[in-house]
Structure 1
């Protein structure tokens, strides 16, 4: 968003205008539906290379490139979706996420289409088997590294993804090798999307998750496609669009194959229902998540959901109860989740600690809230995930003016370690803690 704001200001100067557009104003356009002024729309159209006449013809936000049709779930359509993630020019959707209709259409189209065999490879030299095996091995290692605080892994994942996409684009492989190539691309795109999401780059994350759905579809991996769709739903809840999340998850769950995948989707549905204040829907989804998790067998669980555990069900259930106004039940559930959580999952821990701190505030336990918020901030900063830092920083900013000594010490500590302040942070800078998962 900083890059887009700079481009908009540069465009204004070229036209002899003065503009105070910054990332916070762009955030308002994106996340709250605030309508840009006529002048700002003209600047935006110029930067995005959109004819100015389209502004009046289609109106805001219909003229934006984000309002486009998703690629079809065919070999050529999936190649187009994968190719899109390689584009290096200015991203026309860099400050926007998909519209509700487009997001749901992606899920609906996938749910209706049964995976087909890839079309026969064209003539010419086929993909080198040794290179394909190497890509499979390395992609698995990179996905494991991405779970930790490794700042350089994102570039490595992108490089391997680009190589795989280039091989797919050549269309010189057997059907079996084609499925393997698409499986590699799906796994890497899925991982790259999470890294973008953690960095608050939501449009980039969406494009990569869409690519992962397409690639998984061509690989015949229903669970990976369903999980990638559920990630889009999860992001929709994070961006205060829980109704979109519920609809996407309905389509995604319809074609899952394993209990672990269904459990994950059920948990995410529960989260969206809780934000919508649908207590019955939340309880049904959480009950189903536990039932499916009990059916989970390691030998039948694909890697994309191998991490799913009762820790996730418990902690996310706690966030649900917090949203539904039951802080006591929330504290017990989040505490159980944190006790069972894999210590390597630092980003998830930071989010869950933030939720428990918020619950303690509701229960007026100032000391516990301050301790969890401080631990959450340390964990988030160590993880390097901007969305986690923003989440806990937003909670700490809500405590401004609180006179209790633990709160004063917490604010001083946050200032000393360089936590974002109002106007400098990301999505959390607007004050409210986003209601989302880990």
Structure 2
């Protein structure tokens, strides 16, 4: 935040954190260019334009030089894009009544000002630290608010019902649910902040906020809006902690870990999931946590512990009682276990085993879960390509792209497009040429 309370541009935040004026940053960029054998002489006006967003983004060369100045890996510049690769991080809130209120207020501000500039959210170390704090700190007792109207019991029951209905809808109608969940979340956070209620009602309000914020986080993640996703998940984690709902909190942490693995940070995902599993009660929840841990371990190339995590996930899913799983993990099924096991084998280079698992899992998967289907088809196409089966790979990749586009989820579309890039060395093959022509249509 700036001194007047406005949100600063990430570049402003980083520059000031390093104690640089605009002139000093311009001087360092000139030196960085010289070290690379380039001739660039930026001035403070150019930096002002970047920080005021009068220029949408610096050129690729200037971003490279900025990364040199701030010590950021060039791969991160490409992976995250401007300005999200800048090391401008927020500090996680503590698991106290004040900290949870602040985390939810940040969500409220983001809902009311969706176009405001936002930072990358948290460092990987901060995310792991947040998970550790959630696992070790006991929630404070909720006290009634000191001002406002008493929370209406009928309204609270309505919010609880609508939250679970919207959670179910997000699996099939994600883009259309965003505004509905946002409106419900704003209402709930305002009731938490201004209403009058006792401890039991307070826990119910925080549980509604946690569930709605978790759903909203997934919707933002699906659209590639990672900053907003983590902000909502952080608010959800604090609300679940305040409600003393450990399984729900573990579910939020598992989402954060899934996103970390998706963004090529599997070590962070493993650390978060280890903390999350310590406080869970539901067998279905533990199964999902184990499965996502297996995915991260496979990405790290740890075949032994991947196998152990998959075995544990299968055992926990067998223990889960039908109808007893928390709402956030009620979709967990043998299909998910089999499909994710296939992705693990693919990462570990066991391509035949991966194909068998992915094919079986896709056959078992509920047809309504199109986003999961599109992701797994992309994985299956990748596996077929690794086995040098071009006809099968192109056919599956075409289906993956068609399914991803139908979902309207940026995450799914981006994965399908990335899968197409793997076919580039075989561009001359007729089947690949047809695939590229279809993709361009």
Tell me which interval the TM-score lies in, with the shorter structure as reference length: 0.7 to 0.9
Whole-angstrom distance in 2 between the partners of 1:18 and 1:124: 45
Instruction: Map Cα deviations across residues 405-429 of structure 1 (whole Å, 9 max, x no partner).
Output: 221111110100xxxxxxxxxxxxx
Q: Secondary structure at the match of 1:344?
A: coil
Report the alpha carbon displacement of residue 22 of structure 1 after superposing the two structures with TM: 6.6
Q: Which residue, out of 355, 359, 362, partners 2:383? A: 359
Counterpart selection for 1:229 from 234, 250, 253: 253
Q: Within 5 Å, give how 1:312-323 maps onto structure 2.
A: 312-323=336-347
Aligned to 2:329: 305
Give the equivalent residue in structure 1 for 2:358: 334
Contact 2:50 2:58 in 1 (8 A): no
Q: Does 1:83 align with 2:105?
A: yes
* SS across alignment from 2:193: helix
Partner of 2:170: 146
Range with bigger deviation, 265-274 or 400-409: 400-409
**Does the Cα contact within 8 Å between 2:149 and 2:195 map onto a contact in 1?**
no
Which one is further off, 121-130 or 216-225?
121-130
Matches within 5 A, 1:166-185: 166-185=190-209
| Closer, same or farther: CA 324–24 of 1 in aligned 2, 3 Å | farther
Kept in 1, the 8 Å contact 2:118–2:227? The answer is yes
Partner of 1:34: 74
- Quote the Cα distance in structure 2 between the aligned partners of 1:325 and 1:300: 36
Given that 1:149 and 1:382 are in contact with CA atoms closer than 8 Å, whether structure 2 keeps it comes out as no
Does structure 2 retain, via aligned residues, the 8 Å contact 1:9–1:20?
no
Shift of 1:35: 9.2
Unaligned runs of 5+ in 2: 1-8, 13-44
Distance 1:217 1:310 in 2: 29
Give the corresponding residue for 1:402: 427
Residue 152 of structure 1, CA deviation: 2.6
Q: Select which of 89, 96, 99 maps to 1:74.
A: 96
Q: Deviations over 1:57-88 (max 9, x none)?
A: xxx966x2x142x1111222111111101222
Alpha-carbon distance in 1 for matches of 2:107, 2:241: 17
User: 2:167·2:215 contact (CA, 8 Å) conserved in 1?
Assistant: yes
Equivalent-residue separation in structure 2 for 1:128 and 1:157 (angstroms)? 20
User: Of the candidates 42, 49, 53, which is equivalent to residue 12 of structure 1?
Assistant: 49
For residues 274 and 393 of structure 1, the distance between their equivalents in structure 2, rounded to whole angstroms, comes to 23
* Equivalent residue pairs, number: 389
Native 8 Å contact 1:149 1:384 kept in 2 = no
Q: Give secondary structure in 2 for the equivalent of 1:86.
A: helix
Contact 1:196 1:204 survives alignment (8 Å): yes
Q: Which position in structure 2 is the counterpart of 1:278?
A: 302
1:193 is displaced (CA, Å) by 0.2
1:92-107 matches, within 5 Å, as 92-94=117-119, 96-107=120-131
For 1:255 and 1:415, the matched residues in 2 are separated by: 48
What is the deviation of 1:315?
0.7
**What are structure 1's unaligned runs of at least 5 residues?**
38-42, 49-59, 417-438
Change (3 A) 1:138 1:74: same
Identify the range of structure 1 (133-142 vs 237-246) with the bigger mean alpha-carbon deviation.
Answer: 133-142
Q: Distance in 2 between matches of 1:26 and 1:182?
A: 41
- Relative to structure 1, is the Cα distance of residues 410 and 185 closer, same or farther in structure 2, using a 3 angstrom cutoff? same
State the alpha-carbon separation in 2 of the partners of residues 72 and 388 from structure 1: 34
1:429 aligned partner:
none
Judged with a 3 Å threshold, the aligned counterparts in structure 2 of structure 1 residues 91 and 247 are, in CA distance, closer, same or farther, namely: farther
- Verify the 8 A CA contact 1:298 1:306 in the aligned structure 2: no
Verify: 1:256 aligned to 2:280, yes or no. Answer: yes
Aligned residue for 1:246? 270
Distance (Å, rounded) in 2 between the aligned partners of 1:80 and 1:25: 36
After the TM superposition, list the runs of 4 or more consecutive aligned residues in structure 1 that deviate by more than 6 angstroms. Answer: 7-10, 22-30
Whether 1:137 and 2:183 are equivalent positions in the alignment is: no
- In structure 2, relative to structure 1, the CA distance for the partners of 1:177 and 1:344 (3 Å cut) is same
Higher alpha-carbon deviation: 330-339 or 20-29: 20-29
Distance 2:255 2:76 in 1: 29
Correspondent of 2:218 among 177, 194, 219: 194
Task: Give 1:145 deviation, angstroms.
Answer: 1.6
RMSD: 3.2
Aligned mate of 1:158, from 167, 173, 182: 182
Q: Is the 8 A contact 1:198 1:386 kept in 2?
A: yes
Report the CA distance shift for 1:9/1:309 in structure 2 as closer, same or farther (over 3 A). farther
Report the more deviating stretch, 311-320 or 396-405.
396-405
Aligned to 2:439: 414
Q: Could you say if the C-alpha distance between residues 394 and 109 of structure 1 is closer, same or farther in structure 2, counting changes exceeding 3 Å?
A: same
**Separation in structure 1 between the aligned mates of residue 158 and residue 384 of structure 2, nearest angstrom:** 49
Q: Structure 1 residues 9 and 315 mapped into 2: Cα distance closer, same or farther (>3 Å)?
A: farther
Quote the Cα distance in structure 2 between the aligned partners of 1:142 and 1:211: 18
